[in-house]
Amino acid sequence: MDSQKKYPRTFSFEFFPPRTPEAQLSLRETINQLAQLKPKFLSVTFGAGGSTREGTYETVKQILALKQNAAPHISCMGTTRPEVRALLDAYRQLGIRHLVALRGDLPKNAPQTGDFRYASDLVAFIRDATGDEFIIDVAAYPEFHPEAPCPEADIRAFVTKVKAGANSAITQYFFNIDAYWRFVDECEAMRVDVPIVPGIMPITNFKQLARFSDTCGAEIPRWIRKRLEGYGNDLDSIRAFGLDVTTDLCDKLLDGGAPGLHFYTLNRAGPTCTVWERLGL
Ligand code: FAD
C-alpha cells in the first residue's frame, strides 16, 4: 500500500452522455456545480448504458466549453484501428490529453467485434500511434472482473495492461475496503507502480445499485444490502444511510493512503457534493 502514498491525490468525476436535450441542460448544471470542487478531470463514458460514441464526443466538447479538463473513455467494442486513429486525431484537435482505455462490456448474445480483444491491446495501440501525448487510465477490479477465471489471472491481465503503457488506474466501485488494499499490495508485489484510484459509487438508490452490482461483480456486503432492503421505499433513509457508508469508505481510503477518489456521479452533483463536504476536502 505504501507505493500509493507518494502520489499526489487526484479527484475526478465520471459522467455518461445525456440522451435528451433536457438531460443535457441538467448535465451542464451538474458540471458547473462539481467544477467548484476543482477536480483534476471529468471523464465521459463510451458506448456504455446505451449511449452513443457521438454522445461521448459532444459531452467532451461541452466539458471543455465549461473550462474543465475532459478525459473521454474509449472502448474496444466494435472499434477498428482506423476508427481509433480518427478518434485520437479528433480528440487531439480539441486539445484532449487524457483518455480512459477499456475493453467495454460485451454485447449480450453477440460475439465481440473490432480489432482489439483486450484493453491492453488498445493501450498498446494508442501508445504506438501517439507516443506520450495522452495520459492513459485503465480499469482495475479489486473484487476481480466477473469474467476472470481466477484472481491471479485477473491481476496478471491488469499488470499486462499497465505494462502496455497505462499511466494510472481507476477501480470498479467496491464496498469491501480490504479488497482494495489487498489488490494494491499484490500489484506492488508485481512491481506495478502507478496510482490506483478508488472508484466511488455514492449509494442513493438500492434497486439501481443492486442491478449495477449484479453485472459488474462489485459485492454489496450483506449488512449494507440488508439495511437498504429494510428501508423499502423510504428513499430518505436509503440516501441518509448510503451517504454515511460512502463517506466512511472514502474517509478510510484517504486516511490509508489512497491516491484520490474517482466518483461515478451518474450525472448528479448532489450525492458527490455531500460526501465531499462531509470529508472536509
Ligand atoms: P480488460 O482489461 O481487457 O479485461 C477484460 C477481461 O479479460 C478480464 O476478465 C481480464 O481478466 C481478461 N483479460 C484481460 N487481458 C487478458 C489477456 N491478455 N489474456 C487473458 N485474459 C485477459 N464500459 C463501457 O462500455 N464504457 C465505458 O465508458 C466504461 N467505463 C468504465 C470505467 C471504469 C473506471 C471501469 C472500472 C469500468 C468501465 N467500463 C466501461 C466497464 C468495462 O468496460 C467492463 O468492466 C469490461 O467488461 C472490462 O473492461 P476492461 O477494460 O477492464 O477489460
CA of 63 to the centre of ligand 1 (A): 25
193 close to ligand 1 (CB < 6 Angstrom): no
Q: What is the mean pLDDT of residues 245-250?
A: 98
In the numeric block, which cell numbers belong to residue 74? 474509449
Atom 22 of ligand 1: nearest residue by CA position: 157
Question: Residues with catalytic annotation?
Answer: 14
112 close to ligand 1 (CB < 6 Angstrom): no
119 close to ligand 1 (CB < 6 Angstrom): yes
- Residue listed under C-alpha cell 458506448: 47
Nearest atom in ligand 1 to the alpha carbon of residue 139 is 36
- pLDDT for the residue numbered 51: 60
CATH number of 2-279: 3.20.20.220
pTM of the prediction? Answer: 0.97
In the numeric block, which cell numbers belong to residue 129? 500511434
User: Phi and psi for 71 in degrees, rounded to 5?
Assistant: -130, 95
Q: What percent of the chain has pLDDT over 70?
A: 98
pLDDT in tens, 209-242: 999 999 998 999 999 999 999 999 999 999 999 9
CA of 2 to the centre of ligand 1 (A): 26
Q: How many residues does the chain have?
A: 281
139 close to ligand 1 (CB < 6 Angstrom): yes
pLDDT in tens, 9-19: 999 999 999 99
- Residue listed under C-alpha cell 456545480: 33
pLDDT of residue 47 exceeding 90, the answer is no
Measured from the Cβ of residue 184, the count of other Cβ atoms closer than 10 Å reads 26
